[in-house]
Amino acid sequence: MLGVMSGMAGARTVSGLTPALRQRLLEEWATGVEPSDVVGLPRLLRRAWAVPVARPAVRCGDDRLDYGELCARVGRSAGTRSAPAAGAEQAVRLLALPAVHDGGLIRLGAGSRSVAVTAGAVAVAVADRCAVAAEQRWEWADPALGSPDVRLVVAPWDSVGTLVELLAAIADGATLVVPTDAQRTDPVALTELISARSVTHVVASPADLAGLRGCGLPTVRRWDVVGTQCPAGLSDRLRASSPEAVTSFGYALPVYAGPVARGPLDGSGRARPIPGARLLVLDDYRQPVPPGVVGEVYAGGAALMEDGARPAASRFLADPFPVEGVSPRLYRTGARARWTADGWLVLADGLGAAPPRQLVGRLTSTTLLA
């Protein structure tokens, strides 16, 4: 009898999980598939030269840069610190950053908003964004002509999100629309911008889209909502605006270049790690919790940014359950979630939130974008 009981005890880990379930939680569910089609940033930039020169590359307010102008200006200023710019010219400043061309550490923002991200992390995020955009492209596009997409990213110019969207757009030959500061904070102006530019893809936070109710926006084919919460009812409002559109929710953290997980925008908060990402749900002893039990979310993977200044730096730690081929660093998000029985990560609404953006990233005395 003692032998049988000993054998039964040995079939479970210290956290009460069977070895099979433990493996599923820590490896199969927690880790996204291997990233594919990851291209270095210099090669991504060269793709812009294959797009017709008269095609719009970037729009911001009344400013417009065609692909020919963009390529020429980036070529003249590549690898140098350019002077402050406004409007669409800020795209040139972003793409001319030295680290974009030499694969080094990219620093964005100023003061408490300064962040540092490797070129490799940005490349992984761009590959994911290109794959997502391709899912909803209705017709085949000749690579020499570029895609017919018009993408809108609702974010400041000096953010990693805007850099990722800009690189993904030029890699596909698409047009990127970046709203002005006034448009970004005005729901009416943002709606008019989407309509006037015939935007096909929108990347924005729930707060950015909260004022778009009752608006007809038939050109939009995909809404990518990114944030730390998946609000109920938002999907219905977006579908009412764009009946043929796909809606998705990307769990985004200020320490990760792009969403770390993605799922349907249905109010459930469920998502799965994207390619190259890793998400663990652990208890107070940093042990995996079984499905249905709420724990704390730890995020890591190929697009994790550099350690930040304290107190944010204290949230970075070594992965207690490292997986071969995956970055061994994790970030303690402060968010709460649980696994479902079929492997979905469900965020626990209201039980936690990611730390403020200003605490994230490597603060520097000299910044390249302000």
pLDDT tens for 290-318 read: 999 999 999 999 999 875 544 456 789 99
Cα distance between residue 277 and residue 288, in whole Å: 17
pLDDT tens digits, one per residue of 247-286: 999 999 988 999 999 998 887 888 999 999 999 999 999 9
Q: Is 286 exposed, middle or buried (0-12, 13-18, 19+ CB in 10 A)?
A: middle
pLDDT tens digits, one per residue of 147-192: 679 999 999 998 999 999 999 999 999 999 999 999 999 999 999 9
* Residue count (the chain): 370
Report yes or no: 173 and 182 within 8 Å, Cβ to Cβ.
no
All structural domains of the chain, each given as residue ranges with its CATH number in brackets, are: 37-275 (3.40.50.12780)
Segment 30-59 mean pLDDT: 90
Give the range among 183-197, 230-244, 326-340 with minimum mean pLDDT. 230-244
- According to DSSP, the residues that pair with 185 across neighbouring strands are none
Work out the number of other CB atoms within 10 angstroms of the CB of residue 57.
25
Task: Give the confidence band of 206 by pLDDT, cuts at 50, 70, 90.
Answer: very high
Q: What is the pLDDT of residue 201?
A: 96
Q: Is the pLDDT of residue 137 over 80?
A: no
Cα distance between residue 353 and residue 297, in whole Å: 10
Segment 203-213 mean pLDDT: 88
Q: What is the pLDDT of residue 11?
A: 42
Q: What is the pLDDT of residue 235?
A: 86
Q: Is 63 exposed, middle or buried (0-12, 13-18, 19+ CB in 10 A)?
A: middle
Preceding omega of 328 cis (within 30 degrees of 0): no
Cα distance between residue 370 and residue 359, in whole Å: 17
Task: Give the confidence band of 86 by pLDDT, cuts at 50, 70, 90.
Answer: confident
Q: What percent of the chain has pLDDT over 90?
A: 52
Q: What is the pLDDT of residue 358?
A: 31
Q: What is the pLDDT of residue 4?
A: 38
Q: What is the pLDDT of residue 142?
A: 54
Report yes or no: 220 and 241 within 8 Å, Cβ to Cβ.
yes
Task: Give the confidence band of 214 by pLDDT, cuts at 50, 70, 90.
Answer: low
What are the Cα distances from residue 83, in Å, to 89, 335, 368? 10, 39, 10
Q: Is the pLDDT of residue 7 over 80?
A: no
Q: What is the pLDDT of residue 100?
A: 84
pTM for this model (two decimals): 0.84
Segment 54-73 mean pLDDT: 95
Q: What is the CA radius of gyration of the chain?
A: 21
